[in-house]
Chain A
Amino acid sequence: MDNLIKIMIVDDDPAVTTMLKTKLEKTGKFKVVLTNEAKKALSLAKKEQPSLIICDFYMPDMSGGDVALEIANTRKTKHIPVLFLTAGIDETDDTNGMIGEDHIMSKKSDISKIIAKIESMLRMLPEKSDTGIIAKVKSIFN
Chain B
Amino acid sequence: MKPVGLDLLSIIRKVIFDLRSPAAAKAIKFNILINHRQVVDEDTFGVWGEERLCYSIMANLIKDAVEASPAHGILKILLSGDEDGQALICIHSQSAVPAHIRSDFFEKYSISGKADGTRLAADSAKLMAETMGGKISMSTCEEDGTTVTLELKRTSADRMSFLRSIATISDRNDQADMEELPLLKILIVDDYETNRVILERYLKDDKFNIEFADNGQSAFEKFTKMKFNIIFLDMEMPVMNGMEAALRMRHWEHENSGGRDATILVALSGHAAAEIGQICLKAGFDAYLSKPVSKSQFRETILNFFADKHKKTPEPKNHTSDIPGKFPADIPDVEIDCDLQDLIPSFLSDKKADLESLGEMLMANDYEQIQKMGHRLKGGFNMYGFKFLGDISSAIEETAKQKDYNGIKNKMALLNEYLGQIRIKYVNVN
Contacts and interface: CB of A to CB of B under 8 A. Distances in A.
Contact of B383 (A57, A90, A107): A107
Interface in A82-101: 84, 86-90, 93, 97, 99
A13 B354 CA distance: 11
A22 interface: yes
Interface in B332-348: 337, 339-340, 343, 347
Given A20-B383, A99-B273, 14 more contacts: A15-B350, A15-B380, A15-B383, A16-B383, A18-B343, A22-B340, A58-B375, A87-B382, A88-B272, A89-B271, A99-B276, A104-B273, A108-B390, A111-B429
Contacts of B272: 88-90
A84 B291 CA distance: 18
Nearest to A94: B270
Contacts of B275: 57, 63, 65, 99
Contact of B273 (A60, A86, A90, A112): A86
A89 B339 contact: no
Contact of B382 (A97, A108, A112): A108
A112 B429 contact: yes
B379 interface: yes
Given A23-B339, A111-B337, A15 B384 contact: yes
A16 B379 contact: yes
Contacts of A90: 272
Contacts of A128: none
**Most B-side CB within 10 Å, residue of A19, A20, A99:** A19
Contacts of A110: 429
B375 A87 contact: yes
A53 B291 CA distance: 27
B299 interface: no
Nearest to A65: B275
B340 A87 contact: no
Contacts of A112: 429-430
B378 interface: yes
Contact of A19 (B340, B351, B429): B340
A87 B380 CA distance: 9
B76 interface: no
Contact of A108 (B270, B274, B276, B387): B387
Contacts of A57: 273, 275
19 contacts: A15-B347, A15-B383, A16-B379, A19-B384, A22-B340, A23-B340, A56-B379, A57-B273, A63-B275, A87-B375, A87-B394, A89-B271, A89-B290, A93-B291, A99-B276, A104-B273, A107-B383, A111-B383, A112-B429
A107 B379 contact: yes
Interface of A: 11-13, 15-16, 18-20, 22-23, 26, 56-58, 60, 63, 65, 84, 86-90, 93, 97, 99, 104, 106-108, 110-112
B271 A99 contact: yes
The size bracket of the interface on B is 20 to 34
B270 A93 contact: yes
A13 B340 CA distance: 16
Given A13-B380, A19-B384, A104 B271 contact: yes
Given A89-B273, A93-B270, A97-B271, A26 B387 contact: no
Contacts of A89: 271-273, 290
B376 interface: yes
Contact of A87 (B290, B343, B378, B429): B378
B378 A19 contact: no
A111 B384 CA distance: 9
B343 A22 contact: yes
A12 B376 contact: yes
A20 B387 CA distance: 17
A18 B384 CA distance: 10
A110 B1 CA distance: 12
A13 B379 contact: yes
A60 B372 contact: yes
Nearest to B384: A19
Contacts of A86: 273, 379
Interface in B267-324: 270-276, 290-291
B379 A87 contact: yes
Contacts of B430: 112
Contact of B343 (A19, A106, A107): A19
Contact of B270 (A11, A84, A97): A97
B379 to A, nearest CB: 3
Contacts of B271: 89, 97, 99, 104
A18 B270 CA distance: 29
A134 B328 CA distance: 53
A56 B343 CA distance: 20
Top 3 A-B pairs, shortest CB-CB distance: A87-B379, A107-B379, A87-B378
